[in-house]
Amino acid sequence: MDRRQEILEAASKSFSLFGYKATTMDQVAKIANVGKGTIYTFFENKEILFQEIVVKLILEMKLAAEQEIETSRPFQENAHNVLMKILQFREVHQLYAKLVEEEKELRTPTVQTMLIRIEKEIVSYISEKINIAVDKKELCPCDSELVAFLLFKSYIGLVADWGETHDSELSEERIAALFRDTIFKGLLP
Amino acid sequence: MDRRQEILEAASKSFSLFGYKATTMDQVAKIANVGKGTIYTFFENKEILFQEIVVKLILEMKLAAEQEIETSRPFQENAHNVLMKILQFREVHQLYAKLVEEEKELRTPTVQTMLIRIEKEIVSYISEKINIAVDKKELCPCDSELVAFLLFKSYIGLVADWGETHDSELSEERIAALFRDTIFKGLLP
DNA sequence: AAAATGACCAAATGAGAATATTGGTCAGTC
DNA sequence: GACTGACCAATATTCTCATTTGGTCATTTT
């Protein structure tokens, strides 16, 4: 069997279960049934190995997002579904959730860097979708990069931070209604 | 002279200069030219003393915000000015800036609690202003609490977090334009 | 000979004892 | 009776030393 692939799977499993810092190369070697040295013939170091796994995570997330899109539906609805899916991904996907947790508690710098990379990817993905919608005249022309950033940060804020200052969680309908009445209303032609 | 007042000023100075954790009661006593025990005749404990100072900070901030408001101008403009003022306050005001820093680096729980309190106060202040604007038919009726939260989180995100993922800072005009074209455009009657 | 291995090493980390500081008290001073 | 600062338990910090870790490379396996 492909040793490289086995190592990737072992590392992915360990990162998902214990996080970046708590995963040792010895452990990865053991799970992959491989000598530790072998890992280094395929991956320069721990961080590079991690990077490759994060790239896979990003692809997975994009795939999950893409599945939420139904071209016949209005942009607003697709955008809402995609953003909610991504935020749900953040909580449900083992690896992503673990990294968010590690960043909050441990502040591992490598994890921090990688999470920023993921966020950048998300924002640029949304930005592309906005550009497409603008071309199709579904939206007014706008600073798509900025609007994407605004949407992402707003959704994160409402879903993840609202609980910090309020007792009850926000319902998805209330969030959808807010965006319908504010940002999207402003963006429609 | 008023001993209570002297203690407050000394504590305020020390909190601003060194943060909450690094400020010792001995130090406050020394700065205030007062025996340590005296502090405890006016304030139950360190946290209560801190609270009182934070309440003052909130008042100061509300005052600064209020000065940005010119009733003859449209809501949008006032809101932008108030929010920018608050964010500037976050960076410029010695005590507020120190607390934000301490929260980021040290994670002092007391500071965390107090910052949440300040944020709550800001959001509820903006929420009130929105309600007034709705009454005056300057804005559509809306979920003012949510819209205030959205505005605050968005502004914070754009001013404070944009730099994390991008090299150049956002200009104030670009921010203003974004909100004009999105959220506010949606809120206007 | 090419690929895989695991004993090995310097550097980082962790445990935990020893020490110093801190928030808070209260017997005594003024 | 307002005020003080030596005092105390509890927490925090520093220091030490043993362990663990990422990464290498001489040796073994295929």
User: Has residue B121 been placed in a domain?
Assistant: yes
Q: What is the pLDDT, as a whole number, of residue B3?
A: 95
**What is each CA distance from A5 to A19, A22, A52, A57, B43, in whole angstroms?**
20, 21, 11, 15, 63
- Separation CA A98–CA B1 (nearest Å): 56
Q: Which of residues 31-90 of B touch strand D (CB under 7 A)?
A: 33-38, 40-41
Q: Indicate yes or no: strand C within 7 A of the C-beta of A36.
A: yes
User: Residue B187 above 90 pLDDT?
Assistant: no
Q: What is the pLDDT, as a whole number, of residue B13?
A: 98
User: Has residue B161 been placed in a domain?
Assistant: yes
User: Residue B83 above 80 pLDDT?
Assistant: yes
Which residue has tokens 């949510």?
A: B146
Chain B residues touching chain A at CB-CB below 8 Å: 116, 119-120, 123, 140, 142-143, 146-147, 149-150, 153-154, 157-158, 161-162, 164-165, 170, 174, 177-178, 181-187
Structure tokens at B69: 């408001």
Q: What is the pLDDT, as a whole number, of residue A15?
A: 98
Average pLDDT over residues B150-164: 93
Contact B140 A186 (CB under 8 A): no
User: Considering all CA atoms of chain B, what is the largest pairwise distance in Å, rounded to the nearest integer?
Assistant: 60
Whether residues A94 and A122 share a domain: the answer is: yes
Closest nt by CA–C1' to A21: D21
CA-nearest of A166, A109, A169, A122 to A148 is A122
Whether residues B30 and B103 share a domain: the answer is: no
- The number of domains in chain B is 2
How many CA within 13 A on the CB side of residue A69? Answer: 17
What is the per-residue burial (b if ≥16 Cβ within 10 Å, else e) of A70-105? eeeeebbebbbbbbbbbbebbeebebbebbbebbee
The full length of chain A comes to: 189
Residue in B116, B177, B183 nearest the CB of A165: B116
Give the CATH number, domain containing residue B112.
Answer: 1.10.357
Average pLDDT over residues B109-126: 97
Q: Indicate yes or no: strand C within 7 A of the C-beta of A46.
A: no
Q: Which residue type, as a one-letter code, is found at position A82?
A: V
Average pLDDT over residues A13-34: 98
CA-nearest of B139, B79, B153, B175 to A181 is B139
User: Residue A188 above 80 pLDDT?
Assistant: no
Closest nt by CA–C1' to A46: D22
CA-nearest of B95, B91, B3 to B53 is B95
Contact B183 A182 (CB under 8 A): yes
**What is each CA distance from B46 to B8, B95, B104, in whole angstroms?**
11, 16, 21
For residue B140, the chain A residues in CB contact (below 8 A) are: 181
Residue in A120, A164, A181 nearest the CB of B165: A120
Q: What is the pLDDT, as a whole number, of residue B1?
A: 72
Whether residues A71 and A109 share a domain: the answer is: yes
| CB proximity list for B92: less than 8 A, separation 6 or greater | none
**Domain span including residue A171:** 51-187
Whether residues A13 and A60 share a domain: the answer is: no
- H-state helical runs in chain A: 3-18, 25-32, 36-42, 46-66, 75-92, 94-105, 109-135, 144-156, 162-165, 172-179, 185-187
Average pLDDT over residues B71-100: 96
Q: What is the DSSP string of B107-171?
A: --HHHHHHHHHHHHHHHHHHHHHHHHHHHTTSS----HHHHHHHHHHHHHIIIIIHHHH-SSPPP
Q: What is the pLDDT, as a whole number, of residue A175?
A: 94
Whether residues B3 and B61 share a domain: the answer is: no
Whether residues B76 and B38 share a domain: the answer is: no
To the nearest whole number, what is the mean pLDDT of chain A? 95
For residue B149, the chain A residues in CB contact (below 8 A) are: 157-158, 162, 165
User: Residue B189 above 80 pLDDT?
Assistant: no
Contact A165 B120 (CB under 8 A): yes
Q: Which residue type, as a one-letter code, is found at position A152?
A: F
| CB proximity list for B156: less than 8 A, separation 6 or greater | B87
User: Residue B186 above 90 pLDDT?
Assistant: no
Q: What is the pLDDT, as a whole number, of residue A187?
A: 80
**Which bases on strand D have an atom closer than 7 Å to a protein beta carbon?**
2-6, 20-26
Structure tokens at B170: 């956002």
Q: Indicate yes or no: strand C within 7 A of the C-beta of A189.
A: no
Whether residues B97 and B17 share a domain: the answer is: no
SS3 string, B31-100, reads HHCCCHHHHHHHCCCHHHHHHHHHHHHHHHHHHHHHCCCCCCCCHHHHHHHHHHHHHHHHHHCHHHHHHH
pLDDT tens sequence across A145-163: 999 999 999 999 999 899 9
Residue in A146, A161, A170 nearest the CB of B178: A146
Whether residues B162 and B107 share a domain: the answer is: yes
Q: Indicate yes or no: strand D within 7 A of the C-beta of A67.
A: no
User: pLDDT band for position A132 (50/70/90)?
Assistant: very high
User: Has residue B48 been placed in a domain?
Assistant: no
Whether residues A60 and A135 share a domain: the answer is: yes
Q: How far is the CA of A95 from the C1' of C2 (A)?
A: 35
Give the CATH number, domain containing residue A25.
Answer: 1.10.10.60
Average pLDDT over residues B37-63: 98
Which residue has tokens 């955008």?
A: A79
Give the CATH number, domain containing residue A63.
Answer: 1.10.357.10
Nearest CA-CA distance, residue B92 and chain A, Å = 24
Contact A182 B178 (CB under 8 A): no
Q: Indicate yes or no: strand C within 7 A of the C-beta of B14.
A: no
Whether residues B172 and B108 share a domain: the answer is: yes
User: pLDDT band for position B138 (50/70/90)?
Assistant: very high
Whether residues A60 and A19 share a domain: the answer is: no
**Which bases on strand C have an atom closer than 7 Å to a protein beta carbon?**
3-7, 21-27
- Chains A, B: CB contacts within 8 A come to 85
CA dihedral A25, A28, A34, A36 (to 10 degrees): 0
CA-nearest of B65, B67, B51 to B99 is B51
- Separation CA B108–CA A122 (nearest Å): 31
Whether residues A67 and A16 share a domain: the answer is: no
Average pLDDT over residues B85-103: 97
pLDDT tens sequence across A58-72: 999 999 999 999 999
pLDDT tens sequence across A81-109: 999 999 999 999 999 999 999 999 999 99
Angle at CA of residue A15, ends A98 and B165, nearest 5°? 60
User: pLDDT band for position A121 (50/70/90)?
Assistant: very high
